[in-house]
Structures are given as structure tokens and as C-alpha cells.
Amino acid sequence: MMKADVSEILVASAISKTYFDPTFGENVHALNDISLSIKAHEFVSVIGPSGCGKSTFLRIVAGLDRPTAGEIRVSGNKVTGPGADRGMVFQEYALLPWKTTQANVEFGLRLKGVARAERARIARRFIELVGLAGFENKYPHQLSGGMRQRAAVARVLANNPTVLLMDEPFAAVDAMTRQRLQEELTVITATERTTVLFVTHAIDEAVFLSDRVVALSGRPGRIVADIDIDLPRPRQWSELARDPRFQQYRDLLTAKIERTGAHVEAHS
Amino acid sequence: MTTLTHARWSPWSMTKSLGRELLPFAVGIAVWQLLSSLNIWPPVLFPSPLQVFHAFVADLRSGALLTSLGVSLKSLGLGFLVGALIAVPLGYLMGLNRASRDFFDPLVNLLQAIPGLAWIPFAILWFGLGQGAVTFIIVMSVFFPVLHNLLTGIRTVQPVLVEAVQTLGARRMDVIAHVIFPATLPNLMTGIRLGIAFGFRSLVGGEMIASTDGIGYAIFNAQQYFQSARIVVGMLAIGITWLLMDRFILRPIEQRTTMRWGLMRDGLDNT
């Protein structure tokens, strides 16, 4: 096995996944030999058509699913289960409905045994960072979808994970909110220097957010492209949407995936 | 329920909503009075509201009514406590541990088909006539609705909530304490409310057959002496006690837990 570069904070080696689908009563070969390294402070998106196994890959990184073959190492440690070093933001927000914004954001710190005053301070900082100041004492059902996802991001960031995992986090919000959340996320991850592994089916979202986009083929998912996105930051939709390089990246990725015979959406 | 939760607390809206709730009772009493005034049936078969009222005042004065109610509520409380104290830990054990669920599930499924009152013969054999037998019957009646609702609650906890806290560093005990337990509270409350309702029904039946005390026995006893008005007093006392308990204790507790979290669980409520 290769010796891991110290700057490579997350290393996936030859991940394959086959699972039994009880609905169709057959084995599904979801992922085929995925190897991928992510450097510290890098924002990497994994894209691919529906059912290509990109979410399965993310879940394997999170430790929520086990690979059939291969292994994940984060900061050199082999992943054997879920852990606080790999905080995940889900499409369905997954905030605890019986806790306020403040308590939700403090939750990971509370598990770590951080003192009350200290965790309140940290939580407030991240609540402010995601633009939820003033909503500390609201319960999730009192927040809009966009606000809930902001709270979910704050909850993971306050826990200071080695890598932030995001599974189509903006798929459930409306288009206007989604663009604003995407812009905010680029600012937050840049200031916090967060390492991010982001999964989406929307190519433009991946290009907009990422330093690097990894494209998977249709099932079984294997890497068909790994492209650095060399676009200036901070990024804003009003500028980037007209940037010819943005279009080129989008077209390139679309072509790469379509060549595998799968249909993809260019727009989120 | 809607009137209580959504009415603004102005004196006028309170009077209006109170009026709306009392109207059906007023109409019911009027129809009842009308029917008994027609003298179709003798009073022993169909006592009038006025006779019932007199019997009520008499039973209240003598203290008989409150004494029997007290005895009954004590059995109910004790039976509920014992039933719930067995059902709740067993529910969490079955809900969280595959092996114990596989073991207990068939037993529970068989036993829950047996009504609490079917335990009367054994209750009498084991505890003799009296409140001990009644309490046992209540335990058997409370146990299953509490267990069943709790298991439903545990089964319907959203997996994504568990996964989310796991990626925040939660261990199994954290997941149970911070996700499973709070997530199942609304179902637990529903189970408790149903359990008390089931227990209350068994209480009256149990006391009629297996006891010499309590409101159920009082009704049964009144029938032996053809004191029909006193039978109605007992029946109404049961109904009113349930209404008061449900309105002022059970529903507020249930609503506090569900409403605050924005989790309305309609459809679970089948009393």
C-alpha cells in the first residue's frame, strides 16, 4: 500500500460495495474500486447520475455503511464506524426536533464533555456564522428549510470535524434559497478552512462550490473524471453563471458522465 | 380539543367555547327528561334526571360516592403504575435489542389478544375477592397498550436522526438518551393515555365481579336492590371522572410533549 501523504487528510483505497436489495431481491453492485484522496482544506464534490453510488460512498466515509472491499483512512486512522471527525449534513436536515437551534448546535460539544459556558460560546459563534443569530431559541419546526440546513451546518462545524460530509444538502430547498446557501457555504468553508466532501447530482452546484470535482459513472459507480476547478474565489452566481470557464467545466463534466451512457442533470 | 388549544383567552371566547361544549349535555338531559316524562317505562327501568339528581345528592352527603370513587381510583392508580413500570422497561428492551424482541414478540402478540377482563377468574383465584384482584386486572389492561405504543414509537424513530448524532460522536447510550427516548415520548404518552382508558374500563367490570368495594361494585350493588337512580349516578360518576382526568391531566401532558416539538401525531389517537 502507498504511504499516505500527510497533507492527504482523507484517503479512500479501492472501495467497492455490493449489497442486497430486498425490494428487487437481487444483489446491487453499487461502487467499483473507488480510490480518492482529499487534501486538507480542499472542497471536493462527487457527482454522478442517480443510483451511481455516490451517496453510498459518502456513507462509507461516514462509517454508516461498510464497504465490501477497500478501506477509508481519515488522518491516517482506519474508519470502522461513525465518528465526530466526520460530521455529516443530510438532505433532510436531521436536526433533533426537541432541541432548540442552540441546543442542536451545542450537541456534539456536549457529547465531548465541553463545559457549558464554553460550548454555548462556540455554538453562538457558529450560529452567527451561518446567519441564524436571533433564532437560537427556536425549535426546528419553527424554522424554514433553508434555516434548518444552516443550523445543521452550524451543528457539524461547531463540532470541528476533520472533514465535513454533505449529502445533497440543498436538494430539498427552493432554487433561490439554494443559490444563497451555496454562496454562503463557499464563504464559510473558506473562512473556516473546512475540508469538505460534498455529494450532489447537480453538475453546476459541484462546479460552483468545489476545488475539485470527481465524476462517477452509472452503476456500478467508478471514477470517470477528476477535475480541478480553477475559478476565482469568492464565487457568486451573478458573476460565475456568465463566466465562460464555468460553462466549460460544466460541459466537460457533462460529456464525461454522458459518455458512460447515463443521463445527468446539468442544472440543479 | 381544538376549542381548547386555539381559543384566545378572552372571557367572551371562553364563555362561547364552554357553551359549545356543554350544549350536547344539556340537549341529552332534556331528551332524557322528556322520555321519562312520557311514563312509558317504570322508574326502576328508566329513572328520570330528577331522581338521579336526588340519588346523587344523597350519595354525596352520605359520602358513599366519594368513598367508592376513592377506592376505585386507588386501584386504577396502583394497577396503572405496576403495568406501566413493567411495560416501559420491557418496551425499550424489546425495541432496542433484537434478541429480546424476537423472544417476547410472539408471547406479547398472543397475550394482548386476551382482554383484561378475561383474567377475572384467575384474579379471583390468586388474590381473592377484593381490590387486589381488581388491581391485577387493571395491570393486565394497562400493560399492552403502553407496550404496543412504545414499540411503535421506537420502530418509527427516523434513522437519519440516529445517523446524524452518530456523526457528531454519539455512542449507543447517547443515541438512546438523546434520540430514542425523546423521540418515543409522544408515543409513550399516547400509550399511557390509552392504558389508563383501558384500565378504567376494566376497573368497573372488575369491581362488579371480583370485588366488594369501589364504584363498579356500587353500581352492581344498586342493581341488586333495584335502586336504578343510583346505578345512573355511578355510571355518570365514571364518565365524569374520566372526562376530568382526560381533559385536565392526560391531554395536557400529551399535548405539551407533542406540540412543543411540532410533532402532531394524529391517527395514533384512537380513544
At B162 the pLDDT is: 97
pLDDT category, B19, cuts 50, 70, 90? confident
Q: Is A187 exposed, middle or buried (0-12, 13-18, 19+ CB in 10 A)?
A: middle
In a domain? residue B8:
no
- From chain A, the residues in CB contact with B179 under 8 A are 96
Q: Within 10 Å of residue A226's Cβ, how many Cβ atoms?
A: 13
In a domain? residue B31:
no
> What is the widest separation between alpha-carbon atoms in chain B?
76
In a domain? residue B254:
yes
Total residues found in chain A within this entry: 268
In a domain? residue B6:
no
Distance between A7 CA and the closest CA of chain B, angstroms: 23
SS3 A230: coil
Distance between A97 CA and the closest CA of chain B, angstroms: 6
Number of domains comprising chain B? 1
pLDDT category, B181, cuts 50, 70, 90? very high
Cα-based torsion angle of the residue sequence A67, A71, A76, A79 in order, rounded to the nearest 10 degrees: 20
Query: Which residue type sits at B164?
Result: A
C-alpha cell at B14: 371562553
Inspect the interface and report whether the beta carbons of B261 and A64 lie closer than 8 Å: no
Q: For a pLDDT cut of 70, what percent of chain B falls above it?
A: 92
pLDDT tens digits along B193-206? 899 989 988 999 99
- Residues A99 and B161: their CA atoms lie apart, in Å, by 12
**Preceding omega of A220 cis (within 30 degrees of 0):** yes
In a domain? residue B60:
yes
Please name the residues in contact with B186: beta carbons below 8 A apart, sequence gap of 6 or more: B153, B254, B257, B258, B261, B263, B265, B268
Question: What is the sign, positive or negative, of the torsion defined by CA atoms of A216, A217, A222, A227?
Answer: negative
At A262 the pLDDT is: 56
- Residues A253 and A249: their CA atoms lie apart, in Å, by 6
pLDDT tens digits along B61-91? 999 999 999 999 999 999 999 999 999 999 9
Interface test with B, best of A65, A96, A98, A156 (most B CBs within 10 A): A98
pLDDT tens digits along A78-137? 999 999 999 999 999 999 999 999 999 999 999 999 999 999 999 999 999 999 999 999
At B8 the pLDDT is: 53
What's the rounded mean pLDDT across residues B98-119? Answer: 90
A169 shares contact with chain B (CB less than 8 Å)? no
Query: Which residue type sits at A224?
Result: V
A3 shares contact with chain B (CB less than 8 Å)? no
Q: Are B261 and A141 in contact (CB under 8 A)?
A: yes
Q: Residue B43 region, left (φ>0) first, then alpha (ψ -120 to 50), else beta? A: alpha
User: Pick from B174, B183, B185: which is nearest to A111 by CB?
Assistant: B174
Q: How many CA atoms lie within 13 A of A85 on its CB side?
A: 15
CA distances for B255 relative to B249, B262, B264, angstroms: 10, 10, 9
Interface test with A, best of B168, B173, B257, B264 (most A CBs within 10 A): B168
Closest chain B residue to the Cα of A105, Cα to Cα: B168
pLDDT category, B10, cuts 50, 70, 90? confident
In a domain? residue B65:
yes
Q: Are A145 and A172 in contact (CB under 8 A)?
A: yes
User: Domains in chain A, please, with CATH?
Assistant: 8-87+161-258 (3.40.50.300), 96-157 (no CATH)
In a domain? residue B162:
yes
- Residues B72 and B213: their CA atoms lie apart, in Å, by 8
In a domain? residue B137:
yes
Q: Which residue, A169, A147, A165, A168, is CA-closest to A157?
A: A165
Inspect the interface and report whether the beta carbons of A94 and B182 lie closer than 8 Å: no
Taking one residue from A and the other from B, the number of pairs with CB-CB distance under 8 angstroms is: 72
| CATH assignment of the domain containing B61 | 1.10.3720.10
A96 shares contact with chain B (CB less than 8 Å)? yes
> What is the widest separation between alpha-carbon atoms in chain A?
55
Quote the domain boundaries for residue B127.
Answer: 49-260
- Residues B129 and B134: their CA atoms lie apart, in Å, by 8
**Global ipTM:** 0.92
SS3 B136: helix
- From chain B, the residues in CB contact with A92 under 8 A are 158, 160
Q: Are A95 and A104 in contact (CB under 8 A)?
A: yes
> At residue A259, does pLDDT exceed 80?
no
pTM of the model: 0.83
- Residues A70 and A5: their CA atoms lie apart, in Å, by 18
> At residue B158, does pLDDT exceed 90?
yes
Place of cell 403502553: B146
User: Pick from A97, A139, A159: which is nearest to B168 by CB?
Assistant: A159
Inspect the interface and report whether the beta carbons of B167 and A156 lie closer than 8 Å: yes
